[in-house]
Amino acid sequence: MAVQSSNGIPGRNDGFNSISRQSKYEPFDLQVTRGQIAGHTPLNIFGYGTTGTTAGVFVTMWENAPTTNYVFPATAAVMYVASTVGAGDAGALIQVTGLDANYSPISEIVALGGTAGTGVATTKSYLRINNISVALGSTVNPTGQITIQNQAATSGAVEYAQINTTTYNGSTVSLGTSQMAVYTVPANNTLQLTRFTANSSFTGNTANYCTYRAVAQYPSVLNSSATLVKRVVLQTPFVQQFNIQRTFPFAYPAGTDVQWQIAPSATTACTAGINIGGVLIADS
């Protein structure tokens, strides 16, 4: 006899009678997302930005494109999280996610101060910043632009991530997370990527298209005696949408810095969004 739930749907028992919850069968990808597979962490990288107006010049898709090329910190250092709004954003909680001097994952939550343009120091030292986001536990939704940089004053600082703002129902609110097509693989992990997509504002013709590329810095910088090598892993022209789904993942070893970039074919700026997906797998 079919189970009758309190919501009147036959065959369900208040949502707790699913096949997944009974562990009879569940797709591997869903198990990874639910944290049921040890050593496997799903990863989605989102980037958004605008190119310059010089044909053939590649720009990493991140918040400061095209005026500022993305650079990685040279050494691990204390970072500073700031807002362009003062007292209105005070107390907003920002989650910082990155890597320490040994490329081990580190994270912390920083409460914004009340002075516009002045950052609050992190308690940890970061060699890489992979993401900053408004923490889910924050009771303040920032209305200013949030930055993380190498000094307290935002003026003249080197910036490593940014959260922009948007208008929602007539109010200015935070986008909630940085949107940069940049990632560094943590120590003792391999990044296995299966999905690569990009969407551009160019509709496309023989003289109006975008070119997509990934730039990886090899080998692992965990090997201090190694000479770093940069490779253009992929370079592909496309119009409107670039989409690759790999049956066999593309692997990046620990310590690899990756940037995903776009170049216009004409002297017209191209706005593009990048979506990269895969899984981070522990090496042992």
Write out the chain's pLDDT in tens, 284 residues.
333 333 444 444 555 555 556 656 788 888 899 888 999 999 999 999 999 999 999 999 999 999 999 999 999 999 999 999 989 999 999 999 999 999 999 999 999 999 999 999 999 999 999 999 999 999 999 999 999 999 999 889 999 999 999 999 999 999 999 999 999 999 999 999 999 999 999 887 667 899 999 999 875 556 655 567 888 988 999 999 999 999 999 999 999 999 999 999 999 999 999 999 999 999 98
Domains of the chain: 40-68+182-282 (2.60.120), 77-174 (no CATH)
Q: What is the pLDDT of residue 226?
A: 57
Task: Give a three-class secondary structure readout of the chain.
Answer: CCCECCCCCECCCCCCCCHHHHCCCCCHHHHHHCCCCCCEEEEEEEEEEECCCCCCCCEECCCCCCCCCCCCCCCCEEEEEEECCCHHHCCCEEEEEEECCCCCEEEEEEECCCCCCECEEEEEEECEEEEEEECCCCCCCCCCCEEEECCCECCCCCEEEEECEEEECCEEEECCECCCCEEECCCCEEEEEEEEEEEECCCCECCECEEEEEEEEECCCCCCCCCCEEEEEEEEEECCEEEEEEEEEEEECCCCEEEEEEEECCCCCCEEEEEEEEEEEECC
17: Cβ–Cβ under 8 A, 6 or more apart, which residues?
3, 5, 11
- Burial code (b: 16+ CB inside 10 Å, e: under 16) for 69-98 equals ebeebeebeebbbbbebeeebbebbbbbbb
Output the six-digit token pair for 59. 């720009």
Considering the entire predicted model, what is its pTM?
Answer: 0.88
Q: What is the pLDDT of residue 23?
A: 57
